[in-house]
Structures are given as C-alpha cells and as structure tokens.
Amino acid sequence: MVNNGKTLTPKLIKKLWIAFIFMIVLIGASYIFITCYLTLNYNQAITQRINAKVADHVIQEKFQNAAPFLEDGTVNKALFGDLMHDMMAVNRGIEVYLLDKHGAILYSVVLEHNTNEPLNSVALEPINRFIETKGEEFILGDDPLNADEQNIFSAAPFSIDGHQGYIYIIVAGKQLAQISDSLFGSYFTKLSIGAIVLTMVFAAMIGVLSIWFLTKNLRLITQTVRKFQEGDLDIRIKNPEQSDIEVVALSFNEMADTIVDNMDKMKSVDNLRRELIANVSHDLRTPLAVLKGYIETLQIKKDSLTESQKQEYLQITHNNIDKLSSLINQLFEYSKLEAEQVTPIKEPFSITELSHDLIAKFKLLAEKKEIQLQIDNPEENCMVYADIGLVERALQNLIENAIKYTEPNGKVTLSLVKMGKQIEINITDTGNGIPVNDQPFIFDRYKQVNKSTQKQGLGLGLAIVKKIMDLHDTTIVVLSEPYEGSSFIFKLPAYQLQ
Ligand code: ADP
C-alpha cells in the first residue's frame, strides 16, 4: 500500500491553477490590446474631427487673394511659403500637400523630413470619401512621407483658373506620431503592468476560493478513501447523492460495502475451515488410536490371546477402519461439492425403484436396531429428472440419520407423493426430533445438535444433502418436534413419460 501522506488532489489543483493563470494572462493581454487599439483610434478620430475643416480654411483664407498657380502654370511657391510660415508656428508636425485632380503631389510644405523616399501621389479614394462625409467619418489616408503607413488627414477640393485639385493635409505628422508613440508607450506599460498585477491579484483570490469550493467534494471523497485505506472500514461518504461526483461517491460506498462483506465472508469461511480441521483431526485420531492399540496388543500378546479374543480384536479394528474410511469419504465428497467440482448429470429415472433399493439396503441395519423401515408409495412408479448418483447419496444420508437418531421400536418411513409437475420425497422418523432453535443450522457443515452423543458422525451428512439440493435448484426443509420425530422433505421435477 502506498501512503505518502499526500492527498489525491494536488495534481488537479495544479492543473486548475495553470488553466486559471493562462486564462487570466490571455484575458489581461486581450484587454490591454483592445484598450490600446481603441484609445489610439479614438485619439486619431478626435484629432481628425477637430482638424477636419483645416483644408477648407486653407483654401478659403489663402486662395481668395492669391491663386495657387502662377500664370505660367507653375506652383505659387511664395503663397505656400507664407502658408508654411503660418502653420509651422502652430504645429510643426503638420504637412500640407497640393494635389492635382488625379492625386499626384504637385507641391508639399513639410518641415520634418525623414530619410524615406516620399510618395509622388496619394490614393484619391479616401480623400473623396472624406469630402463626401464632410469629415465626419474616421478615415485614414496615405502618408506621403511614410509609404507603408496610413494617417489621419484633412482634405478639400479646389477649382481655380481652370486648375482643379485638392489640398491634402496630414494633421498628425511625424512629430505628432512620435509624441503620441512615446506618451502612449509609457501609458501602455503602466496600464499593462498595473492591469495585469491587479487582475492577477483579484483572480488569484477568486481562484483560491473557487478551486477550494470546486474541489470540496473531491477532498471529502479523498479523505474518506484514505481513512478506509488506513483501516477504518466503517467509514462511508455521507449523502453521496448530494455530491458533485455522485457516481464516484455512490460507487465508493458500494465498493466499500462489498469489500467489508467479502472480508466478513472470508473470515467466517476461515473460521469454519479452522473448526473443520480441528474437528476432523479429532475424529480421525480416535479410531486411529483404537486401531493402533488393538494392533499393538495383537502383536505383543499374540501367543497368550485365545482365538476368540483375537477374532474380537480383529473385528474391532475392522469396524474402526470402516468408520475411518467413511469419514474420509464424506470429507472428500463434501470438499468436492464445496469446490464446485461436481456437475449434476441429469436423466430420467424411477425414484420408486431407487427408494425400494435403498430400503432393501438399510433393512438389515434397521432390523438390528429393531426399527421398522418402510416405503409409502401410493403411485405406481414415480419418475424424476435428476442426477441419480447424487439423489441416491442424499437419500442414503437422510435414511442413515433417521435410523441413527431413532430409538428401538421406532419407525422410519420414506414416502413419495406426486404433486403436479413435482415429486415430493419425505423421510419421516419417530426419533427424538431436533430442537426448534437448532433446526436452522443443521444443514451447516459440521453442525451437530448434541456433540456429547455417541451417535455423531462428522456433521457433514446434511451439509452434503444441502449441496446436492442446491445443484438441483431445489430446497430441503425439516419439520421436527422434540420427542415426536423429524421429517426431511424435498421436491424433484417429475419426468412425464410420453
Ligand atoms: P452427523 O454426521 O452428526 O449425523 P449430519 O449433518 O448428518 O451430521 O446431521 C447434523 C445434525 O443434525 C446431527 O448431529 C443431529 O443432531 C441432527 N439430525 C440429523 N438428522 C436427524 C434426525 N433424523 N433426527 C434427529 N436429529 C437429526
């Protein structure tokens, strides 16, 4: 038996913990990611909304007095220089582009250049959508300075002196992006660490409570199993039907009952076996001692003994050998029946004939005891379907007992009665009877009502009869009144002649 003092649950708790922590980290990370994503978009949407009309204003304010193109068709750089001046004073991160009607960049006002190759044109689709929705929708457009990125913008169309195009303004340029990134980075770190730590603390608290609650029944079962394993055989799981794992609780209780039952059975079998061995050795020792004594006397005094004495001693040894062999046979027969090594071979036979044969066999013994032995058979010929050898053995034991326990001038009757599809066999004697209290136990092996009596055998006769009845799926009952005799009654299936 392994008992390392651990409960059965740590592995399960470890697994629950890992699953729990994994879930918390996953939820925490998703929470941070979603928050960051939404915050970034939110900030960008606000900035875009605030600056939505910037491009419009540029056109209205700047292009009213001066055209964006000179007479030779080139860009009015002075105008844009002026514009740059105005805008940079407010926000150095802003970028202003003059686009033709196809989106090609004709001129740009950018203060913060980077090393990337700027784009020559931008996509018109987001610009047109922006103009259509009047800047009320959050739309990202191409960032000419960063070809891979999209950025928030403001845009407005113009049509002056036959020139058509757009003013396209990146409202959160490179610098703004850097500031936003660094601010956002630190915010992100703080938020993530804080959120994770906080969530973990709360989750751990809830986790401990829920794991404790979830494993409550399991712990109870484990403790009960452990106590049972340690030898407390009476312990059971209380209210198993209320347990979360009802099947396990019920199965354990049933299993424990079965184990205890089997242990009790094994103990009683063991006790009976011990008793049997003790009694058998005692019963075998007596005739053996008698045998030994008479043989020694015959050897030592062979010259001084008379012929009739010698004959008498030899007869005594002969009787004791008979007794020994009958005891050994009975023991052998019983152990074979008990080990279930005997399979009945059933066949139709005449129980009437068998009864007559047995009566004839025991006639001499009965006459010797002055007992009247008779058969009472109103039917002509009763046929039964059973194992003839085993039935003969059972009847023999019953008749033997009836003669053994009946006083001289008594009567032993074997009657056969047909009762529907069965034949009832009844062996009745006028003997001393069996005390009512002892009647339930006389079929137990080695049970003798009165051990002091000289008549007793091994106490296996009726146990053998009981086993034979079991093999024929029938039962034997005893009806007995003290000093009024006993009746042993059993039934066998009748065989119908076609
Ligand atoms: P035993 O070898 O002692 O006869 P059995 O198993 O045949 O053992 O019988 C068990 C006990 O039942 C006997 O010891 C006896 O006390 C009682 N018994 C059996 N048959 C009769 C009977 N016909 N009349 C009175 N007592 C009986």
Name which residue sits closest to atom 25 of ligand 1, judged by CA: 433
Fold of 246-334: Helix Hairpins (1.10.287)
What's the rounded Cα separation, in Å, for the pair 464 and 450?
19
Extract the tokens encoding 214.
């979830």
Identify the DSSP state of 405: T
CA 489 – ligand 1 centroid, Å: 15
What does pTM read for this prediction?
0.52
Q: Ligand 1 atom 16: the closest Cα is on which residue?
A: 449
Phi and psi angles of residue 489, each rounded to the nearest 5 degrees, phi first? -125, 135
Report the C-alpha gap between 291 and 325 in whole angstroms. 13
Domain ranges of the chain: 52-172, 246-334, 346-493
Q: Is 420 left (phi over 0), alpha (psi -120 to 50) or beta?
A: left
State what percent of residues in the chain have pLDDT above 70. Answer: 88
Residue 429 CA, closest ligand 1 atom number: 23
How is domain 52-172 classified at the architecture level of CATH? Answer: 2-Layer Sandwich (3.30)
| Rounded CA Rg of the chain | 56
Q: Which residue has the higher pLDDT, 208 or 253?
A: 253
CATH number corresponding to 346-493: 3.30.565.10
121 DSSP β-pair partners: 104
Q: 68 CB less than 6 Å from ligand 1? A: no
Tell me what the pLDDT averaged over the chain comes to.
84
Span 353-397, pLDDT tens digits: 999 999 999 999 999 999 999 998 766 789 999 999 999 999 999
Q: How far apart are the first and last CA of the chain?
A: 64
Q: Mean pLDDT throughout 287-315? A: 91
Residue having the nearest C-alpha atom to atom 23 of ligand 1: 402
SS (H, E, C) 213-260: HHCHHHHHHHHHHHHHHCCCCCCCCCCHHHCCCHHHHHHHHHHHHHHH
C-alpha distances in angstroms, 128 versus 68, 162, 173?
21, 20, 21
Q: What DSSP string describes 463-475?
A: HHHHHHHHHTT--
Asked whether 412 and 428 are in contact (CB, 8 A), the reply is yes
**Nearest alpha-carbon partner for 488 in 414, 422, 417, 435:** 414
Helix (H, G, I), strand (E, B) or coil at 12: helix
What separation in Å is there between the alpha carbon of 463 and the centre of ligand 1?
Answer: 10
Residue 226 near residue 7 (C-beta atoms within 8 A) = yes
Q: Give 175's pLDDT tier (boundaries 50, 70, 90).
A: low
Q: Assess contact for 431 and 420: CB atoms under 8 A.
A: no
Token output for 147 = 């070809």
* Local confidence band at 429 (pLDDT 50, 70, 90 cut-offs): very high
Ranges 96-110, 224-238, 393-407: which has the least confidence: 96-110
- Arithmetic mean of pLDDT, 464-491: 94
Q: Which class for 19: exposed (0-12), middle (13-18), buried (19 or more C-beta within 10 A)? A: exposed
> Is 434 close to ligand 1, i.e. is its CB under 6 Å away?
yes
Q: How far is the CA of 325 from the centre of ligand 1 (A)?
A: 19
